[in-house]
Structures are given as C-alpha cells and as structure tokens.
Chain A
Amino acid sequence: AQSVTQLGSHVSVSEGALVLLRCNYSSSVPPYLFWYVQYPNQGLQLLLKYTTGATLVKGINGFEAEFKKSETSFHLTKPSAHMSDAAEYFCAVSPWGNGGSQGNLIFGKGTKLSVKP
C-alpha cells in the first residue's frame, strides 16, 4: 500500500538558514508527488508537484524538491528561510500514479516549521 513518511513533526530553523523537510514515500506505481503548505486557520496550498520529467521541481515562494527514485524520497528545500515560511508542510502521494480516473491523495502527518529571528 502507498504511504508517506515525513521525518520530524517539528523543525526549527533560523531566519536565513537552509530549510530541509524530509519526505519518503512508498508506491507500487510510478508516483505523483506533492508538497502542500498550511498556514494557521487556512486550507492547504499547493507548493509544488512532481508528475513526470525533470526530477528537480521548483515551486512557489522559493521552494524546490527533488524526486529521487532510488531513495524513494521527495525532500523539500529552500536556501534561505523567511519568517513568513512558518507553517505546516505536508507531503502527499497519489496512489494512482499517473492519476487514472481517481484523484485522491495520501498525506503524510505534516511537519511544522518554525523560523527564529
């Protein structure tokens, strides 16, 4: 069965430091992978996605993620953290790979990012 594991429920970084949020997945089909961000009292916003093609994916707000099939990983990075990046981040996998006719996602438990001034 497909699953997503996010290492670290809380990550704290200083402003200007590298942000690294880890995500490992398991999937029996070539996966579609996603990162979403949730700010307090808001819904989830799509940061970036990997479907096919280039394994380094760039998203909004300076975030990027690299799909590494050999490591079954899809870690999220940002070179320099801003205070506004403080939020909860969710990694997700589509259990249907190329989408098929069903679009539901399996989400990780989330990682709460704190940014210290």
Chain B
Amino acid sequence: DSGVTQTPKHLITATGQRVTLRCSPRSGDLSVYWYQQSLDQGLQFLIQYYNGEERAKGNILERFSAQQFPDLHSELNLSSLELGDSALYFCASSPGTGNYGYTFGSGTRLTVV
C-alpha cells in the first residue's frame, strides 16, 4: 500500500457519459498529480494541484477538469466521454511543489464502451 488511495479501481461507462475519479493523497502530502496511461500515448501528465490551487497543467482536454478540496483529496472529472478516453488514470502525491519523486496510487482503469 503506497498510501495514495484511488477509487474506483475499475469503471465501465458509455460514450457521452461523465465520471468522477477520486484520489486521497498520502498523509502529509500537499501536491496531487493526475496522469493518464494509454498504450499509444504512454504516461501523460494531466494536471497538478498544490494545497487546493492549480499549479501546473499538461495535456488535459477541455472535457476534463479537476479540483483539490480543503481536506486535500482530489477529483478528476471526465465528461462527454469518448472511446479514446479509455485508459488507466493515476494519481500521485508529494509533500511539496517541486519534484523530488512522488508516490503513485494503483490507478483507476476506465473503459468507455
């Protein structure tokens, strides 16, 4: 157990739908990162939050949004889902803002049918 908790582990939904992925960071960590892992694109950085504020943005689609709540958990919202959104979505956390290596959760596998 890495200390980063992601729910649900698996999600199957239809095209056009909206889903919410949840992440609880490791105790004491203030930064949360979201990554998408797919066979064709590999691991792609989506977005970083630090203590409730957006800190960095990567290749995140406009249909996707995220937020970090006062208790530091984070949610990634994916809407108007397409088949190509099927992927593993990972959350990671770290104590601060800079990069000294962070801890990944075990991921949410999203399948869009």
Q: Which residues of B (34-62) have their CB < 8 Å from a CB of A?
A: 42-43, 45, 48, 50, 55-56, 58
> Once bound together, how far apart are the Cα atoms of A44 and B97, in whole Å?
19
Interfacial chain B residues near A34, Cβ < 8 Å:
101
* Cβ contact within 8 Å between B97 and A99: yes
Given A43-B2, A44-B90, CB of A100 within 8 Å of CB of B48: no
Q: What is the predominant secondary structure among interface residues of chain A facing chain B?
A: loop
Q: Does A74 count as interface, using CB distance less than 8 angstroms?
A: no
The chain A residue with its CB closest to the CB of B47 is A104
Given A101-B55, A102-B48, A104-B33, A49–B42 Cβ distance below 8 Å? no
A-B contact pairs, 27 of them (CB 8 A): A32-B100, A41-B106, A42-B107, A43-B4, A44-B43, A44-B104, A96-B98, A99-B97, A99-B98, A99-B99, A99-B100, A101-B50, A101-B55, A102-B99, A103-B33, A103-B98, A103-B102, A104-B33, A104-B48, A104-B58, A105-B45, A105-B99, A106-B45, A107-B42, A107-B43, A109-B42, A110-B43
Known: A43-B106, A104-B33, A104-B99. 17 other contacts (CB 8 A): A41-B106, A43-B90, A43-B104, A45-B104, A46-B101, A46-B103, A96-B98, A96-B99, A102-B97, A103-B33, A103-B56, A103-B96, A103-B97, A104-B45, A104-B58, A107-B42, A110-B43
